[in-house]
Amino acid sequence: MQTAATPYEVRFATDPDDLRAAARLRYAVFVEELGGDGPDVDHDARLERDRFDAHCAHLVLIDPARDRSALDHVVGVYRLMGAEGAAAAGRFYTEGEFDLTPLKTSGRKLLELGRSCLHPAYRGGSAMLTLWQALSAHVEAEGVEILFGTASFHGTDIAALAEPLSALHWRHLAPPELRVRAHPFQRMDLVPEDAIDRLAAARATPPLIKAYLRLGGVIGEGAFIDHAFNTTDVCLVLDVARSNAAQRALYARAGA
């Protein structure tokens, strides 16, 4: 899909070049930029992949002006996994870090979001909005009721992240019926609510997390320390029915 309002194209990757380009972008962001690693990372080919990829849909943002032959044309990625994919894979990816029982027993249609990233040259502009518009259209078309997935702070030093983690806990903790819990558990209420420097906490919170919070997203209980990826992860949960209507409309204007 492509609109007059954007130079980009968004599609679900089906051909090998798109899939390899998505894995190449993930390598550039998660491995080269953020220092992550893992047993399935192919350093020689510069590809970041894992066993869940085969059971997921890969929404990719394409810049037609970039070199397809060099696998340079994918500039944004979202990995999506529904219940059928999770059953085939044995579990959702997020279940390696969080107990998803409240979501899985809710009787509602779930969609896991993961491996979201943008090429550095495309951050801060319309690229992410374009990707989110396509995601919103897919969510509406599929009748998805709850979106969830891990979101990351760079680094594993909990003391350095105490203020933003505490701000998330005190201000955005999920209600009990959506409150997934980290395992192993790293508490997030590290700073008393009245002692948090809110400006500093906001500055230290990644833009993707803040964007989900603006949409009405909430945070699971506890954080997960992912040493392989050099991140501290929280679980974001978005009840589509409760999301902020004005913000949702912004992201849903695909084709406008």
Q: Is residue 218 part of a domain?
A: yes
Q: Is the pLDDT of residue 202 over 90?
A: yes
**Interval 67-110: pLDDT, tens:** 888 889 999 999 999 999 999 999 999 999 999 999 999 999 99
Q: Is residue 256 part of a domain?
A: no
Residue 226, classed as helix, strand or coil, is: strand
Q: Is residue 179 part of a domain?
A: yes
The pLDDT value recorded for residue 256 is 37
Whether residue 3 is contained in a domain is answered as no
Q: Which among 16, 250, 4, 7 has a CA at the least distance from the CA of 135?
A: 250
Does some domain include residue 67?
yes
* Model pLDDT, residue 69: 86
Domain harbouring 34, CATH code: 3.40.630.30
Query: Which helix (H) or strand (E) segment is 73 a member of?
Result: none
Query: Looking at the 3D structure of the chain, how many domains does it have?
Result: 1
The pLDDT score that the predictor gives to residue 39 is: 85
User: Does 251 have pLDDT greater than 80?
Assistant: no
Quick check: is 92 in a domain?
yes
Q: Whose CA is closest to 233, among 253, 200, 199, 209? A: 209
Cβ-defined contacts of 13-21 (< 8 Å, 24+): 13/58, 13/59, 13/60, 13/74, 17/68, 17/71, 18/58, 18/60, 18/62, 18/74, 19/53, 19/58, 20/47, 20/71, 21/60, 21/68, 21/71, 21/72, 21/73, 21/74
Confidence grade of residue 244 (pLDDT, cut at 50, 70, 90): low
Handedness of CA 122, 126, 130, 136 (dihedral sign): positive
Instruction: Give the pLDDT confidence of 111-155 residue by residue, as tens digits.
Output: 999 999 999 999 888 898 899 889 999 999 999 999 999 999 999
Q: What is the rounded CA–CA span in Å between residue 225 and residue 157?
A: 9
- Write down the pLDDT at residue 236: 97
Query: Among residues 204, 207, 216, which one has the least CA distance to residue 166?
Result: 204
Q: Is the pTM of this model over 0.75?
A: yes
Q: What whole-number distance in Å separates Cα of residue 215 and Cα of residue 235?
A: 15
The rounded distance, in Å, linking the Cα atoms of 51 and 16 is: 16
Which residues form the domain of 204?
A: 9-251
Structure tokens belonging to residue 234: 């929280």
Distance CA 69, CA 71 (A): 5
Q: Would the CA dihedral through 64, 69, 74, 79 be positive or negative?
A: positive
Which residues share a beta bridge with 148?
112, 237
Within-domain flag for 1? no
In a domain, 247, yes or no: yes
